[in-house]
Chain A
Amino acid sequence: MMKAVRMLAKGMAKQNRGRAIVLAAAVALGILVLSTVFGISAGKVEAEELREIRANRTCAVTTLARATVEQYWKIKSLPYIQAVGRKYGAGSTLIYDAAGARDGDDGEALSCVFTCLDKTAWEEMTTPAYTGIEGHYPQEEGEIMLSIRALAALGMERPQMGQAISLKIQLGPFMEIEETFTLCGWFTDYVDLSAFPLQGYVSEAQVQKWGKSLDEPDELLIVQNDTLDAYELEERLNQDVTMRDKSQSFVTNDTFRSRAVNGLAGGYEMAALCGALILLCVFLLVYNVLRISMQKEVRQIGLLDTLGTTQKQIRRIYQCQIGRIVAVGGVIGVGASAMVGMVVLPYVVGGMYLYHYGQRTELTVWRPGLVVAAACFTALVVEWATYLIIRKATRLTPLEAMRYQGEARRGGKLKRHGGKSGRHVGTKVIRRGSRQYVFHMAWRNLWRERRKFLLTAFSLFLGVVTVLVAEIIVRGTDYANVIEAEPDFAIGIECKNDGMEIPYVYEEYAPIREELKGRILSLEGVKADSVEALYGAFVIVDYAQEAFWPRNDALLSDGDYENALWRTYRKPEGEEGEPGFPDPAVVQIVDDDYLDKLERYVQENGLTADVDAVRRGEGVLFLHEGAWSEELREEADAQCGINVTFWNFLTKTEEEWHKRASMSVKAIQEQESNGIWSAYPLAGESHVSAYLDTRAKGFPQVETLSYDMVLPYFLISERGFEKLNVEKKMLSCQFDVEESYEEAAKAGIKEMIRAENEENASRVQDKKYGIDTLPNLFVRCKSDVLAEEQSYIRTNRSLFSFLGAALLLMGVMNYANVMVTGLFARRRELNTLERVGMTARQIRAMVTWEGAMYCGIVGALVLGVGNGMFYLVRWYMEQNVPHFWFYYPWDGMAVVFLLLAVVCAGVPRACFWGRKRDEKKMGANV
C-alpha cells in the first residue's frame, strides 16, 4: 500500500513542480519572517531589559526591607514569584579617585558601598548586570570583590587575584573600622556614577564578623513574573505576606522585561496580538497557496477515490508531497533566517541596543530555538492547511470530486424580472458599453470565486494593516517622541553624588534668579510665550512633627537607617517633646487646572484628600513616592488636616555667623531663645490636605524637581503660597527657541549657566563657615539629546521598517500567487474569450481591472476596518505607554497604497504579457 502512496506522491510531486516551488518559497518566507520578526522583537526586548538591568545593577525590581525568615520563605513559595534573593548592607567607604586625581590632589571622593548577597541574589539577579566577571564571589571572611571602576579609583589599573586591599569601612554613623581584604574577583559595571556609588561585595562570613545576623536581611530582592504589573503585584503580595509592622511595605515595580515589552508594543497583549497577526498572515499565505494549487487536484482525488484509494491513503499521498516541500522550504527558510540573523541584522542594528551599556555582540537576533519554533509553526500551518483542503476534497463524493470545477458558486438562481403577473419572465438585459462590459466581466470573474477573492483580499488587508499598525506603534513609541515632547531647553538644579536630596541652601538662594531668567529670555530666538517655570521655595521643616510621622515610618521600612536614626524620631505621643532637627523641604506652587485634575483623580479613586482646602490656600499636598504600607496609608489618611509648620532658611550671613559661633555661645543662645528653631524665621503654617503617592496608577502627572522619599515635597496653591512668609523663587524653567537661532542660543545659555555655577561656587568658598555647596544649575538641550540618541533611534526605525516590509511582502506574495495561478488556470477561458471576439486590449483591461478591484477592496477595508483598528491601537497604547504619540499613518498609507496599486495592477498585466509571449513562442515553434 505504501508503495502506491509513494508512487503517487512522487508522480504528483514531479507534475506539480510549480506549486512545489511556490509552496516551498511560502514556507521559507514564513520561517524567515517569523524568525526575523520575533527574533528582532525578542532581541530588542532582551537588549532593553539588559540595558535596564545594567543601569540598575540588578534585575530585581521589587524589594522588601527588614524581611523576616518567615517572610522570605513565604515569598519564595508564591507561584507568581520567580526568585527571591537576600541582600545585606555591609558598610561603605570613601575612595579618593586616584584615576582622576591631579598633582597634589587626592582626587574626587567617591562613595563605595559593600554588599553581601546570597547565591540567588548574586547569580540570578546581579551577574546579568555585569560583564567581565573574573574570579569568584567572596566566600571566605576577608575576601572582597570590586568593580573595575572601584579598583581604578583605588589606583589598581591591573588588579591581581589575591591582592591585598586595605580599606576603612564605615559600618554605621559612628562606627568605622579598618580592614585588609583579599581581592577575589572583579567585574565591569555600567551604572551612572553620578547616581550610584561604586560597588563592592563581601562574604556572608564577613557580614557575620561585623555583627550582622544572616537571618534578617536588609532587603529581599524579588523577581516576579513578567506579566504581573507593579500594582497587581503589590496587591497580591500584601494579601499573601504578613507584614512585620505597619512601617514595612513592599516596593514594587514592573519588571524590566515587561517595561521593555511595553516600550516595544505597549504591553504583552499588543505583542500577542501582533504575533497573532503575523502568524495569521503566514497561515493565510500558505493556506491560499495550497488551496489554489489543490483546486485542480480535487478531480484527481475524486479519480483516486473512484479507483479505490481510501481517504487515509489520499491523505498520506498529499502528506508525503507536502512533507517533502516543507523539508525543502524549511531548509531554505532556516538557512535564510540564519543568514539574516547572523549576518544581515547584526550589521543593520550595529551598536544599537546596548549603546553605552556593554558590547554590541550581546544583542542576539539569531535564536536557533526561535527559528526551530518558526519552522515547526510553519510546518504545522502547512499541515493544517493541507488537512483542511484534503478534508474538503475527500468530503465530496467521488463523483462530485471528479466533476469539481472550482469554488465558483453553483446552483445560482436566475433573477426574475417582470410584472407581478410574471408575464415577462426572464433575465434582465442590461445594456453596457464595451468598457463597462469589461469592467463588469472583471467583477464577475472575481465574484464567481468569491471565497478565494475575499480570502486573498483579507490576506492583503492583513499585510497592509499590520504594516500600518506597526508604523503607528513604532512611531508612537519612538524614543524620539519622548525627547521631542520635551521643550528645547530645560534649566534646573543638579544635586551631586546622591543625586536626589536637595542640600541646605541660603535663604537668598534661588535656583534660577530673575536676573538670569531675564538674560535668557533676552537671547535672540527664545520664544517668551513658551516659557514654563516651576515656582516655589525651599523651606525648613521639623521631621518630628506629626505631619511627617507616616513618612518617617516609611523611611524605617525602607531600611534607611541613617535617616531613620537622625531624622525620623517622633515626639512621644501626647507629649510636648523636644523638637527635631531643621531639615529641608520643597514647597511647589501648582495652578488651579492641576488641582482640578487632581480632584478628579481623588474622586475617581475614592482617596482622602481635601483639594478644595488647597485651592482656598488653607492646605498643602504632601507628595511621596515611596511605597507605604496599607496601614501607613490609613494612618496618613486619618491625620489629613493636621498642621505643618514651615520655616525659612537662614541667610548667608546668619548661617556663617552660626557656624562661627562657638558651641558654648550657641548653647547659650539656644537656651535663651527657645532652642535652635528660634534662629529660623517662621514662614507659616498650613494643613496637610492629603498624602498622595505620585507613583499610583492614574496620578496626574506634575512637573517637579527630582526628589526621593527622604525629601518632603509639598504642592501648594498660589493663594496658599501667598499666605506663607516665603519668597517665591523659580525652581526650574523650560522654553523653546526658534530653530534658526537654536545653536546660538544653546551656546549663550550654556555660557550663562557655567558663569552662574561659578558664581554659586564662589559664594560657598568659605566652606568651613557656611554651607558646603550649592546646587549646580544644569541645562538640558533637546538637540543634544536627540543627537546623542540618533543612532539608537535610527536603528530602531530601520528594524521596524524591515519587519513591515517582510509582512507586506507576505501579503503581496499571497496576492501574486492568487493572480498568477488564477490566470494560469483561466488561460483556456481567456483564449476562448479572444476567439469569440474579445481583443487582447480588452482582456488586458479586464485582468487589470481585476487587480484594481483587489486594490480597491483592500483600500476600502483599510479605510474602514483598518481605521477602527488604528484607533483601537491608539486607545490601547495611550493606556499603556505614557509617551505614546499617535500619528495617523498618512504617509505609510500613501506608500503602501501606491505599492499596492502598482502590484495589484502590475501582476495581472505581467501575467498577461507572459501568456502572450508564451503563445508567440509556441506559435513560432509550430
Chain B
Amino acid sequence: MQAIQTFSLKKYFYNGEYEVRAVDKVNLSVEEGEFVAIMGNSGSGKSTLLNLLGGLDEATEGEILIRGESLRGMEREERTIFRRRNIGFVFQQYNLVTSLSVYENIVLPLCLDGLAPDEAFLNHLVELLKIGDKLYEMPERLSGGQQQRAAIARALITHPAIVLADEPTGNLDSATSMEVAGLLKTCARQFDQTVIMVTHDKTVARTADRILLMKDGVVQVADDVLSTKDGVVQVADDVLTTKDGVVQVADDVLSKEDGLAHASDDILPMEDVQ
C-alpha cells in the first residue's frame, strides 16, 4: 500500500512581483515501510515538500494522500489530530519542549490524545535509542545526540505510519549523525514505519532505501549518480572508478546478492527505470 502519494503538488510563494516555486508539480509515491531520503541544495524545496507532507503547510495546488486519506479539505483541528495520530516529526533543532522532562516529552503526543503510554513499548523504544537512563532529565542537560534520540522516541511513541525527519542530523557530528540515521532506519524497519528524511549529508542519505533529489522544487534522479553532459549520460566518478586499469563499480552501487548483481536503490530509484 502507498503510504504517501502526491499528485502534481505545488507550493508557490509570492514576494511582491516575484513568484518562487518552492515545490513544483511533484508526483511522489512512497511505499509503506520505505525509507526515503530527500536531498538537494538550500532552497531547492525539500523542507517545504516535507512540511506539505506533514500538513504543516498548505499546498498551492495538488493533492497529498497519506495512507489513502487526502489532506485537502481537512479543517485545521482535524488536520492537527490527524497529524498527531499518523505522523511523527523529527527536527534538526530537536525541538523538545524545554519545560518538560525527557519522559514527558516522549509521552506528550499520547497524553494530548488522552492515552496512557504503552510502558513496554516505551521501555523498548528508549532502550533501543539508548536514553533509558535519561528519562527524567530536562532536555537542556542532554547532549545533542541524546536530545535527537529523545525527539525520535517522541516521534515514534504513537506508532505513526509516517515519520518525517527534517535534517535530523544537521546539528550533530558525523559519528552521531550516522548513529541517529541508523536508529531511524532501525526503528522504521522494526516498527514498519515509512520514513522520509531531508538531509544534506550524502552519507546519511545513503542509509535510505531511496534517494530523491530536489532542484528548483522539482524531484529529479540523483544527479550525483547520473548527469547529462553534451547530450551524453554521465556516470558520477565515485560510481565507476578505475583500478588497475579495470573499471570498478562502487560497492554501494552494485551489490551481490544470491549470486546476482543488484543496483542500489539510490542509483536507480525510479520504478520505471527499474
Contact = CB atoms under 8 A, between A and B. Distances in A.
Contact of B111 (A4, A12, A305, A411): A4
A306 B109 CA distance: 10
B256 interface: no
Nearest to B54: A306
B98 A397 contact: no
A307 B112 contact: yes
B83 A7 contact: no
A810 B17 CA distance: 45
B58 interface: yes
A14 interface: yes
A214 interface: no
A310 B97 CA distance: 16
Most buried by A among B54, B56, B77, B81: B56
Contact of A397 (B57, B77, B89): B57
A303 interface: yes
Interface string B77-114: 10011011100010000010111100010001101111
A91 to B, nearest CB: 81
Contacts of A801: none
A15 B84 contact: no
Contacts of A389: none
A11 interface: yes
B264 interface: no
Contact of A306 (B16, B77, B89, B114): B89
A303 B95 contact: yes
The prevalent SS among residues of A at the interface is: helix
B243 interface: no
A804 interface: no
A593 to B, nearest CB: 70
Nearest first, the 6 A-B pairs at minimum CB distance are A308-B84, A11-B99, A4-B111, A15-B99, A1-B114, A399-B56
B109 A307 contact: yes
B77 A308 contact: no
Nearest to B83: A308
A300 B97 contact: yes
Given A1-B112, A1-B114, A306 B56 contact: yes
B190 interface: no
B85 A3 contact: no
Contacts of A300: 97
A663 to B, nearest CB: 106
B234 to A, nearest CB: 37
Nearest to B47: A399
B274 interface: no
A694 interface: no
Interface of B: 15-16, 51, 54, 56-58, 76-77, 80-81, 83-85, 89, 95, 97-100, 104, 108-109, 111-114, 154
Contact of A308 (B95, B98, B99, B109): B109
A4 B81 contact: no
Nearest to B96: A303
B69 to A, nearest CB: 16
Interface in A613-629: none
Given A309-B80, A311-B76, A411-B15, A399 B99 contact: no
Contacts of A308: 80-81, 83-85, 109, 112-113
A7 B100 contact: yes
Interface in A291-342: 300, 303-313
A877 to B, nearest CB: 52
Contacts of B80: 305, 308-311
Given A1-B113, A307-B112, A308-B112, A11 B100 contact: yes
A307 B77 contact: no
Contacts of B154: 307
Interface string A741-783: 0000000000000000000000000000000000000000000
Nearest to A13: B99
Given A1-B113, A307-B112, A308-B112, A15 B81 contact: no
A413 interface: yes
B80 to A, nearest CB: 5
Given A306-B56, A307-B89, A15 B98 contact: yes
Contacts of B95: 303, 306, 402
A8 interface: yes
B97 A8 contact: yes
A715 to B, nearest CB: 77
A399 B97 contact: no
B112 A413 contact: no
5 contacts: A4-B111, A11-B99, A12-B99, A15-B98, A308-B80
A787 B231 CA distance: 108
Interface in A394-434: 397-399, 402, 411, 413
Most buried by B among A4, A14, A300: A4
A94 B77 CA distance: 86
A313 B112 CA distance: 8
Nearest to B77: A310
A15 B80 CA distance: 26
Nearest to A398: B56
Given A11-B97, A11-B99, A303-B95, A309 B104 contact: no
Interface string A681-692: 000000000000
Contacts of B77: 310-312
A902 to B, nearest CB: 37
B115 to A, nearest CB: 9
A410 to B, nearest CB: 10
A8 B109 contact: no
Nearest to B98: A15
Contacts of B112: 1, 4, 307-310, 313
A399 B57 contact: yes
B51 A399 contact: yes
Nearest to A303: B95
A513 to B, nearest CB: 91
Contacts of B57: 397, 399
B156 to A, nearest CB: 13
Contacts of A305: 80
Nearest to A2: B114
A119 B91 CA distance: 79
